[in-house]
Amino acid sequence: MSAYQVNRLCHRLYHDASFRDAVKADPAKAIADWPLTDDERRALLGGDVKRLYEAGAHPFLLGHTSRWGLFGLTPEVYAERIKGAKDPA
């Protein structure tokens, strides 16, 4: 996965309050129309930030998820899960 769409989605989360609210209410439904790979969708919905980071999601964009506890990611959960993630090539 190139993670470009994941990055775009995280960017939208930060700048678009209505999209953010939709993700808060029903994450799977809110991102259903996004052109993500199955792998990306699974990782996002599962809050697997390590996997997304290693795939190329930029931390400044990915990190927006934990500002509002989206995809189950509180700052504590986020910090714990991203620990040990390898830098993408």
The site for other proteins (CB under 8 A) is made up of 4, 7-8, 11, 14, 50, 53, 58-63, 66-67, 75-76, 78-80, 82-85, 87
Tally the C-alpha atoms within 13 A of residue 62's C-alpha that lie toward its C-beta: 23
Residue type, 86: K
Nearer CB in complex with other proteins: 2/28: 2
Nearer CB in complex with other proteins: 11/24: 11
Gap between the Cα atoms of 58 and 81, Å rounded? 15
Closest contact distance (angstroms) between CB of 72 and other proteins is: 16
Closest contact distance (angstroms) between CB of 7 and other proteins is: 6
Of all helices (H) and strands (E), which one includes residue 29? helix 27-30
Sequence-ordered list of residues with C-beta below 8 angstroms from that of 67, at least 6 positions apart, any chain:
14
Closest contact distance (angstroms) between CB of 82 and other proteins is: 5
